[in-house]
Amino acid sequence: MGIKGHSINLLKSYLTNRRQMVKLGTFTSDSLDNKYGVPQGSTLGPLLFNLFISDLSTMLANTKHILFADDLVITENESQISDLQEKLKYTHTTIIKYFAENGLVINAEKCNIMIFNKKSNMKDIKLNIDNHQLETVKQFKYLGVILDEKLTLKVNNEQIYKKMANMIYAIKRNRKYLNEQLTFKLITAMVYSTLNYGISIYYLFLTKILDKKLNRLFHQTLTLIIPGHPDDAKTKYKILDVRQRFIYFTSIFVYKAINEKNHMFKNYDLNSYQLRGN
């Protein structure tokens, strides 16, 4: 990787001769040598871990995958479940071998299989890690977004609505103790952050009913900031509505995908996909 001399010696010094212990109340355990891993909670930890597993993507060069820190997702597509099973078995064997050779351990209980298909009653795919059969699930939370087997994002979008509604209710109950600017800051931190996260994805799956509900909640936030004058709040603080946020964050994503050298979608051949409706 081009790291040598004083730099590699500094990293070696940083990682070696470390010890760890557990403290609970007045009890302290014996200390043990920490021979593996990186210091938890350290600034360098995530970077060093990413460097350590950087060759995993090379091992999976012929497999579609998404690697985010220590979170790995393997994707395959086939029309027949038997063909899909064989593909995943091969990839599964490659990953198990890589982890064994590099002293890494897979937490089998946190591994799941999800089959995206419009059909019902699909057969489960059977894969095992350390004699633990991976569970085939109907929905799964990945990086904060709840995916379901039909890709409707129904559960995810309902969760967003409920979370926003609960936060707005909490702020509304305490509004009399808050001034205008503090109310705006709280709403931005608690409500708008929830609305913003993943909006480039989930907005496209909103039903008409839920879209109206989210817009009603958004209107409530404006009324909380400046009671009786929602339009004034929107103008004064330059607040984007729900649809405007979708356009804004999607535009940023597309711009980065086109212009950033190392963007995750930089090497995708977008021309091979049908991006326009008939």
Quick check: helix, strand or coil at residue 3? coil
Q: Each residue of 107-160: pLDDT tens digit? A: 888 888 888 887 766 677 788 877 888 888 899 998 899 999 999 999 999 999
Closest among 39, 95, 86 to 67, alpha carbons compared: 95
Report the C-alpha gap between 187 and 46 in whole angstroms.
31
Q: Each residue of 218-268: pLDDT tens digit? A: 999 999 999 999 999 999 999 999 999 999 999 999 998 888 766 555 545
- Mean pLDDT across 64-70: 83
Report the C-alpha gap between 62 and 68 in whole angstroms.
18
Position 275 pLDDT exceeds 50: no
* Model pLDDT, residue 1: 61
Position 270 pLDDT exceeds 50: no
Which two structure tokens, joined as six digits, stand for 1? 């990787």
The amino acid at residue 228 is G
The answer to whether the CB of 250 falls within 8 A of the CB of 258 is no
Position 269 pLDDT exceeds 60: no
Position 68 pLDDT exceeds 90: no
Which two structure tokens, joined as six digits, stand for 278? 């008939």
Tell me how long the chain is: 278
* Model pLDDT, residue 161: 97
* Model pLDDT, residue 278: 43
Position 12 pLDDT exceeds 60: yes
Which two structure tokens, joined as six digits, stand for 172? 């509304």
Position 28 pLDDT exceeds 80: yes
* Model pLDDT, residue 261: 67
Average pLDDT of the residues of the chain: 87
Report the C-alpha gap between 199 and 278 in whole angstroms.
25
- Mean pLDDT across 25-41: 87
Which two structure tokens, joined as six digits, stand for 87? 């593909």
The answer to whether the CB of 153 falls within 8 A of the CB of 146 is yes
What b-and-e string marks burial along 113-146, b requiring 16 or more CB atoms within 10 Å of the CB?
Answer: bbeeeeeeeeeebebebeeeebebeebeeeeeeb
Quick check: helix, strand or coil at residue 180? helix
Q: Each residue of 78-88: pLDDT tens digit? A: 888 888 888 88
Position 272 pLDDT exceeds 60: no
Give the orientation angle of helix 6-15 with respect to helix 44-52, to 10 degrees.
Answer: 110
* Model pLDDT, residue 154: 95
* Model pLDDT, residue 264: 58
* Model pLDDT, residue 119: 73
Report the C-alpha gap between 239 and 197 in whole angstroms.
16
